[in-house]
Amino acid sequence: MRNKNDIVDKVKECLIKAASTFSDDKKEVYRQAIERETVKTAKWVLETTLNNAMVAEQNRSPLCDDSGIPHLFLEIGPNQSVDGELFSFIKQGVAEGLRELPGRPMAIKGDDTQRIDQSGGLDFDPGALLSAPILLKPTEEDVLRLHMLMHGGGPEIRAKTFRIFHRHKVSVVTEEIIEWAVEASGKLGCSPVTLAIGIGRSHFEATSLMLEAMAFGNYTIQNEIEKEITNRLNKSNIGPLGLGGDTTALGTFLKVGPQRASGVRIVSMRPCCGIEPRKASVEL
């Protein structure tokens, strides 16, 4: 028997934490970047961004006025179950979290055409903002764990999901990702980025893996491919806010899924902005 109030409250708190808090590893990677940065403008941007995060955490207020679209990822252990009731509690928790934060009221009203051209107006209730479809994944750990990610609009403009012909070399894939990332980071305007990358067999799978990479990524645990991509991006001199500097990327979160017997890999890359990934998790 589920406790509705308990689940709704946990989801609400998880959303508020995701939208208002830097994780410990993110704070640390910022401190390291500030220490290393040699360009005064860049150093000031990094210091101010970290200072903003401290204030937002203290106030439980949004890190950024684009408080983001909630993206949920649910891990389901072997003895756990999910049903429509659970999803309705989660939905209510998201709405209550958005109202309490408060999130930016940016739900578009109207029918299909009105939602495309934005002619139906906005819903002024922050809680009217629906989450993206929930991603489900079995886990060996016997838990029901919800990950909350808040996706801002800027990175969505610059994200890309496309095919890469790998020619049986990892370097071919990483070189193309770096090419995408340099272009995206330069135009983003709110670097330093964290590159979230999923590599799969279809556009859906690659994007799902990208989301999973964001959920589990940690700046203190970086494999060789992740380090290589980050280091190469930092040589671009794009810097914080694109104004030049040593810190274009804080890290790379890569998730490689099952692959197809084929010469093609589908890659989804999201250049998360300087305050992203905004994430938190909770056991329900």
Partner 1 sequence: MIQKENSKSVITPIRACCLESISIGDFIYISGFIYTGRDSVLPKIVSLIEDGKLEEYGINLEGAVIFHTAVSPAGVGPTSSNKYDIESTIPALSAAGVKLHLGKGELSKETIEALAKYNSIYAVIPPVTALLNRITLSKKIVAFPELGMEAFHLLEVQNYPAIIAIAHGKSIYDHEEQK
Least distance to partner 1 from the beta carbon of 25, Å? 20
Helix then strand then coil, % of the chain, to nearest 5: 45, 20, 30
Decide: 184 and 258 in contact? Cβ < 8 Å: no
Q: Which of 114, 202, 223, 237 binds partner 1 (CB under 8 A)?
A: 237
Residue 122 near partner 1 by CB under 8 A: yes
Q: Which of 63, 86, 164, 193 binds partner 1 (CB under 8 A)?
A: 63
Least distance to partner 1 from the beta carbon of 16, Å? 12
Cα dihedral 175/179/184/185 (nearest 10): 80
| Cα 273 to Cα 151: distance, rounded to the nearest angstrom | 10
Residue 150 near partner 1 by CB under 8 A: no
Residue 130 near partner 1 by CB under 8 A: no
Least distance to partner 1 from the beta carbon of 275, Å? 6
- Tokens 């179950």 correspond to 81
Q: Which of 24, 132, 189, 202 binds partner 1 (CB under 8 A)?
A: 189
Residue 15 near partner 1 by CB under 8 A: no
Residue 35 near partner 1 by CB under 8 A: no
Q: Which of 244, 246, 257, 281 binds partner 1 (CB under 8 A)?
A: 244
Closest CA to 135 of 197, 80, 206: 206
Q: Which residues of 52-76 are buried (b: 16+ CB within 10 A; e: fewer)?
A: ebeebeeeeebbbebbbbbbbbbbb
Q: Which of 103, 192, 200, 271 binds partner 1 (CB under 8 A)?
A: 103
Region binding partner 1 by CB under 8 A among candidate stretches 59-67, 89-97, 195-203, 254-262: 59-67
Residue 59 near partner 1 by CB under 8 A: yes
CA gyration radius for the chain? Answer: 19
Decide: 86 and 7 in contact? Cβ < 8 Å: yes
Residue 47 near partner 1 by CB under 8 A: yes
Residue 106 near partner 1 by CB under 8 A: yes
At what angle are helices 24-36 and 40-59 packed, to 10 degrees?
A: 160
| Cα 252 to Cα 240: distance, rounded to the nearest angstrom | 16
Least distance to partner 1 from the beta carbon of 148, Å? 16
Question: What is the size of the binding site for partner 1 (CB under 8 A)?
Answer: 48
| 82-101: contacts with partner 1 (CB under 8 A) | 101
Residue 275 near partner 1 by CB under 8 A: yes
Task: Please count the other Cβ atoms lying within 10 Å of the Cβ belonging to residue 86.
Answer: 18
Cα 76 vs. chain centroid, distance in angstroms? Answer: 21
Q: Which residues in this chain contact partner 1 in the complex, by CB under 8 A?
A: 41, 44-45, 47-49, 51-53, 55-56, 59, 61-67, 101-106, 118, 121-122, 124, 126, 153-154, 157, 186-190, 237-238, 240-244, 273-275
